[in-house]
Amino acid sequence: MPNPFKPTAGSEPPVLVGRKQYIEDFQFAIDDGSGAPGRLSFITGARGVGKTVMLNALSDIARNLQWKVVNATAAGDFLQEIIKLLHTGQKTHITSYTLPSVAIESSLPGMKANIGLGGMQFEHSQGSTDLRQTIGHVLDSMDESRQGVLITLDEVGEGTPLPQLRSFATAIQHLIEEKRNIAVIFAGVPHMVDDVVNDSVLTFLRRAERYQLQDVPIEDVWEAFEKTLSAGGKNASYDVLNKLARATHGYPFMIQLVGYWTWRQSVVNGHDDFISLEDCESGIAKAKDKLGNLVNAPAVAHLSAIARDYLLAMAMDEGPSNTGDIAKRLGKSPQYANVYRNRLIREDYIIATDYGKVDFKMPYLREFLQSHAAMYQMSRNIEDSGGFLG
Ligand SMILES: Nc1ncnc2c1ncn2[C@@H]1O[C@H](COP(=O)(O)OP(=O)(O)O)[C@@H](O)[C@H]1O
Ligand SMILES: [Mg+2]
Instruction: State whether 242 and 154 are in the same domain.
Output: no
Sheet of 149-154: strand order equals: 68-73, 149-154, 182-188, 40-44, 209-212
Q: At what angle do helices 277-291 and 252-268 cross, to 10 degrees?
A: 130
| pLDDT on residue 226 | 98
| pLDDT on residue 384 | 58
Domain boundary among 191, 212, 233: 212
| pLDDT on residue 194 | 77
Nearest atom (ligand 1) to Cα of 45: 22
Which residue did the predictor score with more confidence, 280 or 301? 280
What does the pLDDT look like over 230-255, one tens digit per residue?
A: 999 999 999 999 999 999 999 999 99
Q: Do residues 166 and 199 lie in contact, with contact meaning Cβ atoms separated by under 8 Å?
A: yes
Instruction: State whether 66 and 186 are in the same domain.
Output: yes
Rg (CA), the chain: 24
Nearest atom (ligand 1) to Cα of 216: 1
Instruction: State whether 172 and 232 are in the same domain.
Output: no
Ligand nearest to the CA of 45: 1
Which residue's CA is minimally distant from atom 14 of ligand 1? Answer: 48
Residue-range definition of the domain harbouring residue 380: 303-385
| pLDDT on residue 121 | 42
Mutate to test the pocket of ligand 1, among 253, 261, 294, 295 (most ligand atoms within 8 A of CB): 253
How close is the Cα of 9 to the center of ligand 1, in Å?
Answer: 6
Give me the sign of the Cα torsion angle 8, 12, 17, 20.
positive
What does the pLDDT look like over 52-90, one tens digit per residue?
A: 999 999 999 999 999 999 999 999 999 999 999 998 865
| pLDDT on residue 200 | 58
Count Cα neighbours of 375 within 13 Å in the Cβ-side half-sphere: 8
Q: What is the tally of structural domains in the chain?
A: 3
How close is the Cα of 311 to the center of ligand 2, in Å?
Answer: 23
List the alpha helices (DSSP H) in 90-189. 100-106, 124-140, 162-177
Which residue's CA is minimally distant from atom 16 of ligand 1? Answer: 50
| pLDDT on residue 162 | 85
Is 231 a member of any domain?
yes
CATH number for position 92: 3.40.50.300
Instruction: State whether 191 and 259 are in the same domain.
Output: no
Instruction: State whether 190 and 236 are in the same domain.
Output: no
Average pLDDT (262-284) is: 97
| pLDDT on residue 60 | 95
Which residue's CA is minimally distant from atom 8 of ligand 1? Answer: 50
Q: How far apart are CA 212 and CA 36, in angstroms?
A: 19
Q: How far apart are CA 348 and CA 360, in angstroms?
A: 9
Q: Do residues 69 and 30 lie in contact, with contact meaning Cβ atoms separated by under 8 Å?
A: no
What does the pLDDT look like over 155-183, one tens digit per residue?
A: 998 788 888 988 999 999 999 999 999 99
Give me the sign of the Cα torsion angle 318, 320, 322, 326.
positive
pLDDT of 104 > 60? The answer is: no
Count Cα neighbours of 1 within 13 Å in the Cβ-side half-sphere: 19
Which residue did the predictor score with more confidence, 334 or 37? 334
Q: How far apart are CA 48 and CA 347, in angstroms?
A: 13
Ligand 1: residues within 6 Å at CB? Answer: 6-11, 13, 16-19, 45, 47-53, 216, 252-253, 255-256
Average pLDDT (105-130) is: 49
Is 318 a member of any domain?
yes
| pLDDT on residue 99 | 39
pLDDT of 109 > 80? The answer is: no
Is 7 a member of any domain?
no
pLDDT of 274 > 80? The answer is: yes
Ligand nearest to the CA of 287: 1
How close is the Cα of 104 to the center of ligand 2, in Å?
Answer: 35
Q: Compute the mean pLDDT over every residue in the chain, rounded to the nearest whole number.
A: 86
